[in-house]
Amino acid sequence: MGVARTPRGKWIEEGLRALASGGPEAVRIEALAQALGVSKGGFYGYFRNRDALLGEMLDAWERAAAEAVIEEVEREGGEPRAKLERLFAIAAAADGPTTGVAAELAIRDWARRDESVAGRLRRVDNRRMDYLRSLFSAFCPDEDEVEVRCMFVFSVRIGEYFIAADHGTRSRAEVMRLVQDRLLS
């Protein structure tokens, strides 16, 4: 009877966790094996080397960060404002290793130093922007207004994690709801 192998997806998830907490330098085979409670020998049953793992981690993030989210929003159908509300809710709740803000920010930081990662990030951001444009243009006839709203969505999604300001008597969630209401009006 053979020993059960750690699934490939677990290595990828653990790699994304390591990336989120310490950048690409933290994605080390021995450390991942230790975190998974297995020997590093199992790693080589799935991946040629560390670079192969990094590539598959980026593939998983790219799929989860763009296509899977769009598919989830589209599955329920509805009019564009309802889709945008679902999209905002999904983005606000995203906290998995491939969809969480920590992974997103780590990949954005990594892209500043690696052209191939920057290319992937650009592809994901363009896919997200194209989808947002398709939704906003359904009720905003002005192309400039559509672009502004898309940029606001992106800026708020990424930037809110860098802003430590208080909001007076309002909670961050209340302010985010006001932002969403404004974007959908």
What is the reported pLDDT for 12? 96
Residue 166 pLDDT more than 90? yes
Q: Please, which pLDDT band fits residue 1 given cuts at 50, 70 and 90?
A: very low
Beta strands in the chain (DSSP E): none
Residue 168 pLDDT more than 50? yes
Q: At what angle do helices 80-93 and 115-136 cross, to 10 degrees?
A: 140
Q: Please give the Cα distance from 131 to 22 (Å, whole number).
A: 31
What is the reported pLDDT for 100? 81
The 10s digit of each residue's pLDDT in 119-160 is: 999 999 999 999 999 999 999 999 999 999 999 998 998 888
Q: Check: CB of residue 167 under 8 Å from CB of residue 175.
A: yes
Neighbours of 67 (CB within 10 A): 13
Domain ranges of the chain: 59-184
The string over 83-109, giving b where at least 16 C-beta atoms fall within 10 Å of a residue's C-beta and e elsewhere, is bbebbbeebeebeebbbbbebbebbee
Residue 4 pLDDT more than 60? no
